[in-house]
Amino acid sequence: MKKYVLALDQGTTSSRAILFDSGQRILGQAQKEFAQHYPREGWVEHDPLEIYASITAVMMEVIAQCDVAVSDIAAIGITNQRETTVLWDRHTGRPVYNAIVWQCRRTARIVDGLRSSFEAEGRGGYIRETTGLVPDAYFSATKIAWILDNVEGCRRAAEAGDVLFGTVDTWLLWKLTGGAVHATDYTNASRTMLFNIHSLQWDDTLLSKLDIPRAILPQVFPSSHLYGAVNIQGTEIPIAGIAGDQQAALFGQCCFEKGEAKNTYGTGCFLLMNTGAAACASANGLLTTIAAGADGDRGVQYALEGSVFAGGSVIQWLRDELRLITEASDSEYFAQKVADSGGVYLVPAFTGLGSPYWDMRARGILIGITRGTKRCHIVRAAEEAIAYQCWDLIRAMEKDVGGPLKRLRVDGGAARDSFLLQFQADIINRVITRSAVNETTALGAASLAGLRAGLWKDREALLGMSPPGTDFVPAMEDSRREALLAGWHRAVSRSLAWAE
Ligand code: ADP
């Protein structure tokens, strides 16, 4: 009987490997940062070879560190930064250009052109209806088009079948299998803006509008699937799970049922709710995406997704720019020293506001300041702002599904902050549960792989191993909650449409 599952977590700033035992306990982990390239204002790139080197380095490091026999590893699961785009030469394995990272804005004009082209045909809703996404440079489609158009000879090579495209999971899978497997999973495919999330096929209309040859695209499989094998020290280990980071976290949090949701408080916040077998179209500015499933051929599950741009980064801003705190964890301490924010609101619209406002010209404001405003009030207003923004997302989601969240599970770096979570529970008036495992993304990838490899039988087995976590129970009076939220929305209204 095999004993372990290895999760490879390829994130935006670092690559990590975590080894789980058959009880889903963490045996060891290794992490390696890699370079961020900013060749121009608003452009972000990674070196795909450095990403691959960092993943293999942490993989070997964790195996050595835990001193386990490679033959005892049942499977590998991959989870990754989503949307980031790599094109490479299928013969030499050399990337034709750096990876264009999800944050990169260089293709905003291509998106405008695409949108106008559909509008001119009277099909303005096509992208939304087909892919579940709001047309944006964030997703892979226009990044692929940019590389094909801007790298000398690339389009010709792609048309001749010499170039392959992949999101980061696909790139790693291809490299780890020695070029044998060119595939991705439904969750990653659903973030390319080229995938029909209903028919589960690449969409010919979008491919033709962007002039992307079909031959460069990977095959698409369920998240829990035998993708191929990687040879480590002479032993073949199956790669049996793949999912994009947020969907992996949803799975790692055991949100298997319709109505179950998780919110990750990282640099930004990502709220995902499982909506079951039906894709739920949002009327409130959320995205529809495919959830990681372990259903094999029984079809896929969908999720609604909303994100807050400035989450934990608000705390970093207090620390690094305002210098009101010296460590992120000080924010909880200062926020608790006062009974309220003294009427101060911070709207951290540093880069505009996302769902449900979608105002790229909104900018941050600090409002309600008086001569008596102290550091603690500002810190508290910053903490509260994270929770208010998540309230806006949760509200949008509840409106879309026509009912309350079943439960909200939370994780991420800023979820260590108990003040924030208590305030969040108070303001949404729902119980929230902080996961006992902070590595829910890696756990999700491990679970998907371990299920397929037979180390764990089914979802019930996963639920059985999931430790209970910590509950935060709402305890705020309705009148206070309503007054605070009214103040927040008044503050937001002052921050909108500010930038020229
Ligand atoms: P990411 O995966 O986006 O890099 P993490 O999940 O590692 O993010 O979380 C990092 C974020 O959490 C940072 O923005 C940091 O400010 C915030 N953070 C970390 N510790 C705390 C804390 N104790 N209280 C509040 N915020 C915190």
The tens digit of pLDDT for each residue in 49-78 reads 999 999 999 999 999 999 899 999 999 999
Q: How far apart are CA 446 and CA 433, in angstroms?
A: 21
Q: 303: closest CA among 246, 343, 350? A: 246
Q: How far apart are CA 248 and CA 336, in angstroms?
A: 33
Residue with tokens 């998780």: 262
Residue 359 above 90 pLDDT? no
Coil, strand, or helix at residue 419?
helix
Coil, strand, or helix at residue 495?
helix
pLDDT score at 1: 76
Q: How far is the CA of 109 from the centre of ligand 1 (A)?
A: 33
Confidence of residue 32 (pLDDT cuts 50, 70, 90): very high
Q: What's the pLDDT tens digit per position in 424-454? A: 999 999 999 999 988 999 999 999 999 999 9
At residue 234, φ and ψ (nearest 5 deg) are 85, -5
Ligand 1 site: residues with CB under 6 angstroms? 266-267, 312-313, 315-316, 328-329, 331-332, 412-414, 416-417
Q: How far is the CA of 212 from the centre of ligand 1 (A)?
A: 38
Of ligand 1's atoms, which has the minimum distance to the CA of residue 311?
14
Q: How far apart are CA 198 and CA 187, in angstroms?
A: 13
Please give the share of the chain, as a percent, with pLDDT higher than 90: 83
Q: How far apart are CA 47 and CA 81, in angstroms?
A: 14
Instruction: Give me 151's structure tokens.
Output: 């790298």
At residue 33, φ and ψ (nearest 5 deg) are -80, 160
Instruction: Give me 60's structure tokens.
Output: 């070997």
Q: How far is the CA of 413 from the centre of ligand 1 (A)?
A: 4
| 431 to 101, 401, 451, 467, 468: CA distances (angstroms) | 35, 19, 30, 17, 13
Q: How far is the CA of 268 from the centre of ligand 1 (A)?
A: 9
Domains 4-243 and 254-434+469-500 share a fold: yes
Q: How far apart are CA 175 and CA 93, in angstroms?
A: 8
Arithmetic mean of pLDDT, 274-284: 90
Confidence of residue 298 (pLDDT cuts 50, 70, 90): low
Residue closest by Cα to atom 25 of ligand 1: 414
Q: How do beta strands 14-21 and 4-10 pair?
A: antiparallel
Q: What is the CA radius of gyration of the chain?
A: 22
Most informative mutation of 16, 264, 265, 380 for ligand 1 (most atoms within 8 A of CB): 265
Confidence of residue 293 (pLDDT cuts 50, 70, 90): confident
Q: How far apart are CA 5 and CA 445, in angstroms?
A: 9
Of ligand 1's atoms, which has the minimum distance to the CA of residue 411?
6
Instruction: Determine which helix (DSSP H) or strand (DSSP E) holds 459, and give its type and residue range.
Output: helix 459-465
Q: 141: closest CA among 163, 174, 108? A: 108
Lowest mean pLDDT among 156-170, 203-217, 403-417: 403-417
Residue 299 above 90 pLDDT? no
Q: How far is the CA of 237 from the centre of ligand 1 (A)?
A: 33
Residue closest by Cα to atom 27 of ligand 1: 414
Most informative mutation of 379, 389, 416, 421 for ligand 1 (most atoms within 8 A of CB): 416
Q: 238: closest CA among 55, 9, 77? A: 77
- Order across the sheet with 85-89: list the strands: 45-46, 99-100, 85-89, 163-167
pLDDT score at 477: 97
pLDDT score at 42: 84
Amino acid letter, residue 305: E
Q: How far is the CA of 32 from the centre of ligand 1 (A)?
A: 18
pLDDT score at 10: 96
CATH of 4-243, one of 1.10.1200.10, 1.20.120.420, 3.40.50.720, 3.30.420.40: 3.30.420.40
Instruction: Give me 367's structure tokens.
Output: 């409002």
Q: 435: closest CA among 421, 419, 451? A: 421
Q: How far apart are CA 262 and CA 249, in angstroms?
A: 8
At residue 391, φ and ψ (nearest 5 deg) are -60, -45
pLDDT score at 296: 57
Q: How far apart are CA 235 and CA 224, in angstroms?
A: 21
At residue 293, φ and ψ (nearest 5 deg) are -130, 160
| 418 to 340, 382, 435: CA distances (angstroms) | 16, 14, 12
Farthest CA pair distance, the chain? 70
CATH of 254-434+469-500, one of 3.30.420.40, 3.20.20.140, 2.60.40.1930, 3.40.50.2300: 3.30.420.40
Arithmetic mean of pLDDT, 277-292: 92
| Chain length of the chain | 500
pLDDT score at 82: 95
At residue 331, φ and ψ (nearest 5 deg) are -60, -40
Q: How far apart are CA 441 and CA 243, in angstroms?
A: 9
Most informative mutation of 315, 318, 321, 440 for ligand 1 (most atoms within 8 A of CB): 315
Of ligand 1's atoms, which has the minimum distance to the CA of residue 417?
24
Amino acid letter, residue 393: L
Q: How far is the CA of 277 from the centre of ligand 1 (A)?
A: 33
Residue closest by Cα to atom 15 of ligand 1: 312
At residue 156, φ and ψ (nearest 5 deg) are -60, -45
Residue 354 above 90 pLDDT? no
Of ligand 1's atoms, which has the minimum distance to the CA of residue 413?
9
Q: How far is the CA of 385 from the centre of ligand 1 (A)?
A: 15
Most informative mutation of 267, 319, 336 for ligand 1 (most atoms within 8 A of CB): 267
Arithmetic mean of pLDDT, 295-303: 75
Of ligand 1's atoms, which has the minimum distance to the CA of residue 11?
2
Q: What's the pLDDT tens digit per position in 114-144? A: 999 999 999 999 999 999 999 988 899 999 9
Residue with tokens 């060119």: 182
Q: How far is the CA of 258 from the centre of ligand 1 (A)?
A: 28
This prediction's pTM: 0.92
pLDDT score at 352: 85
Provide the residue ranges of all domains of the chain, joining segments of one domain with +. Answer: 4-243, 254-434+469-500
Residue 260 above 80 pLDDT? yes
Q: How far is the CA of 265 from the centre of ligand 1 (A)?
A: 7
